[in-house]
A and B are shown apart, each in its own frame.
Chain A
Amino acid sequence: EIVLTQSPATLSLSPGERATLSCRASQSVSSYLAWYQQKPGQAPRLLISDASTRATGIPARFSGSGSGTDFTLTISSLEPEDFAVYYCQQRSNWPLTFGGGTKVEIK
């Protein structure tokens, strides 16, 4: 099973600041990594597929990068609605696995 480790667990930032979230895989997942945003009481929303492709309707301030074992989700300038929990997920192998999440909170 591929283990995904997200860091930091919590990121305290102010609106307008840049957020950099990390996801590290226990073995290579090539570019088969997705990012999701989840707000309290809501289902996850797909942000990024295949490491760097924004999903339909996702603002350009969200970007993904990386390959192999190290990946980054960057939010260039935080909007109030971006404060949420973010998960990475690999689709390289069964079983599908998710990272433990990074909470982006208002400082």
Chain B
Amino acid sequence: AQKITQTQPGMFVQEKEAVTLDCTYDTSDQSYGLFWYKQPSSGEMIFLIYQGSYDEQNATEGRYSLNFQKARKSANLVISASQLGDSAMYFCAMREGLSSNYKLTFGKGTLLTVNP
């Protein structure tokens, strides 16, 4: 079974609007971490936001927020007020177990296009 599922291969949004990128995960561990990374066309991997499984509040970083629904095993990324520079691939990733576990499992990504 897929550990990380991103069901949207591509998404389009108008500039200045909000967009939600979906991510569901599968783990039997109680302790885990969820990450979102952005990969622009230049190719680098840029860390956006992190949510720990025991964090009670949804993580936020500027225009990025993570809609964490533990019972549904979903960790959707919300980008508010989209900008043209947000056009990129977005990857959801998970670390299972304690933070001493170093392996991240990535989804296949969602290509976001922001239209002017």
Asked if A pairs with B, the answer is no
- Show the binding face of A for B, using Cβ within 8 Å: none
